[in-house]
Amino acid sequence: MHFKRFLDIKPEISNLFIVFINNKVLYDLNEKTFLLNSSYLNFNNFNFKKIGIAEDNGIKIYVIDLSNESFNFADQGYQSLVEYDLRYLMTILSEENLSLVGRANQLLHYLKSSKHCGYCGSIMEFDSDEEAMFCTCNNVMVYPRISPCVLALIKKDNQILLARNALFPEGLYSALAGFIEISETAEETVKREVFEEVSLKVNNINYYSSQAWPFPSQLMLAYTCDYKSGEIKVDGKEIIEAKWFDIDNLPNTPPNSTLSGRLINSCILDR
């Protein structure tokens, strides 16, 4: 599998399509796949938004967006198509497939958000050598953007700090998270975010692992750190609750398919 970006498409040959409709991904329950063969799909036209995202043994893989198209489920060669939320797919796919469907979501977002030049407002062209959107006004090349974020898991003796984000479902706790600021190192972000969100100071910041997070285009960098000083005081906006939990008695945490889930579990295994 080679990751590439391309716009050209030959409808007369078989391609593989990852199909998005209103932010949901089409999945065939019989074949257990989101990679749909274009020969088995029936379209009125090929005017939908599309971008090639990879090539596998000469077969091109595209992500396409049918949100504004008429697509008749009964007319398709696949008999058991359902629409799945990307977050649900994350819990059932292998790491390789997750990477591919995540890439599809990110590049679809790139295609939709890079239509006009940010300098002059003209419609941008696709440069196939650079695999990026291009405008002649300032020789601007716009590549897909990734936003780096940190996850911070604070340790204190036999306890870890877990928090509830205002957007979390009831009862779910996770590590702290935040976007890296312009000019900041990831370790500086860990210190700043921890202080902003729960008023604690930390040290011994150690890198754990990373994960592409396609909602829509983050790269999560996970760190562990040690409690240094301070009393927990949540910011009340992003974080509504934070407390120390014994490693032996943790609340509901994210699944192992997510980096935050693996980061939290690494502390249990580390003991």
Backbone region of residue 157 per phi and psi (left: phi > 0; alpha: psi in -120 to 50; beta: other values) = left
* Binding-residue total with Zn ion (CB under 5 A): 6
* Interaction of residue 119 with Zn ion, rule CB under 5 A: yes
Mapped onto helix, strand or coil, the DSSP state of residue 127 is strand
**The residue to which tokens 């005081």 are assigned:** 233
* Interaction of residue 153 with Zn ion, rule CB under 5 A: no
Cβ(19)–Cβ(49) under 8 Å? no
Residues 6+ apart with CB under 8 A from 258: 90, 211
* Interaction of residue 166 with Zn ion, rule CB under 5 A: no
Closest contact distance (angstroms) between CB of 147 and Zn ion is: 23
**Chain mean position to CA 191:** 24
* Interaction of residue 120 with Zn ion, rule CB under 5 A: yes
Of residues 134 and 245, the one with the C-beta less far from Zn ion: 134
Closest contact distance (angstroms) between CB of 122 and Zn ion is: 5
Cβ(131)–Cβ(5) under 8 Å? yes
Closest contact distance (angstroms) between CB of 126 and Zn ion is: 14
Backbone angles phi, psi at 109, to 5 degrees: -60, -40
Among 51, 117, 142, 220, binds Zn ion (CB under 5 A): 117
Cβ(230)–Cβ(223) under 8 Å? no
Closest contact distance (angstroms) between CB of 123 and Zn ion is: 9
Of residues 66 and 111, the one with the C-beta less far from Zn ion: 111
Q: d(Cα 203, Cα 205) in Å, to the nearest integer?
A: 5
Closest contact distance (angstroms) between CB of 133 and Zn ion is: 10
Cα-Cα-Cα-Cα dihedral sign, residues 164, 168, 94, 110: negative
Backbone angles phi, psi at 263, to 5 degrees: -60, -45
Q: Which stretch binds Zn ion (CB under 5 A): 5-13, 135-143, 186-194, 206-214?
A: 135-143
Q: Which stretch binds Zn ion (CB under 5 A): 17-25, 71-79, 118-126, 207-215?
A: 118-126
Site for Zn ion in 241-260 (CB under 5 A): none
Site string for Zn ion, 49-88 (x = CB under 5 A): ----------------------------------------
Of residues 26 and 124, the one with the C-beta less far from Zn ion: 124
Among 81, 89, 135, 198, binds Zn ion (CB under 5 A): 135
Q: d(Cα 137, Cα 133) in Å, to the nearest integer?
A: 13
Task: Name which of 12, 27, 4, 254 is nearest 153 in CA terms.
Answer: 254
Q: d(Cα 149, Cα 178) in Å, to the nearest integer?
A: 5
Of residues 133 and 151, the one with the C-beta less far from Zn ion: 133
Closest contact distance (angstroms) between CB of 138 and Zn ion is: 6
* Interaction of residue 13 with Zn ion, rule CB under 5 A: no
Binding site for Zn ion (CB under 5 A): 117, 119-120, 122, 135, 137
